[in-house]
Amino acid sequence: MTLVFATNNAHKLEEARLILGARIQIKSLQDIGCHADIPETSDTLEGNSLQKAKYVWEHYGIDCFADDTGLEVEALHGAPGVLSARYASEAHDSAANRKKLLESMCGKSNRNAQFRTVITLIKGGEAEQVEGIVKGNIASKETGSGGFGYDSLFIPQGYDRSFGEMTAEEKAAISHRKRALEELCKLLQSTK
């Protein structure tokens, strides 16, 4: 089976290919000649995920999936959430986002957080959504240089290392995206 992953994020594409392996051939937006900056104007992860998948389906008529991921921090009432990539500014500056998160968490004892990924699958014009969640805590300082985004600040539950200290394979084995992609696989098996 071949699906287009509606993302321009090379890290996400690599992670999805690593997780799905040979089960699903994943094409990128570049593979189908889509160079558009697909809008993400919803105020929810679900809305953005649907918006991106619909864009590919409506413009290319190809079965596809799209995701949106947010880091949801309890002490910040779910922020940065849907604004995770643009938390500090519209520039999608990961270093600035991490710095702002650490500043926002200063003096807070509740460090509980979760990464949540919502995937929208559009197959034959029908849209369905699944999600994956990994719970954890926000570290008091950055640790590790692996991964991307907030990985150096997020310590998954049951571990004493951040995603940034893990190899790509270690992170992929427990990540929110893996859990969402596993749900996507189940969905695909049930819609054959």
Catalytic residue ranges: 68
The tokens for 172 are: 């992929």
Please tell me the distance from the alpha carbon of residue 107 to that of residue 10, in angstroms, as a whole number.
35
Q: Residue 177 in contact with residue 185, Cβ under 8 Å?
A: no
Identify the DSSP state of 6. -
Nearest 10 degrees: Cα torsion 116, 121, 127, 133: -20
Identify the DSSP state of 29. T
The tokens for 173 are: 């084995």
Pairing of strands 2-5, 25-27: parallel
| Alpha helices (runs of H) in 1-142, residue ranges in sequence order | 10-20, 45-60, 94-105
The tokens for 103 are: 């500043």
Q: Which of 134, 146, 130 is nearest to 70 (CA)?
A: 134
Residues 6+ apart with CB under 8 A from 123: 63, 188, 191
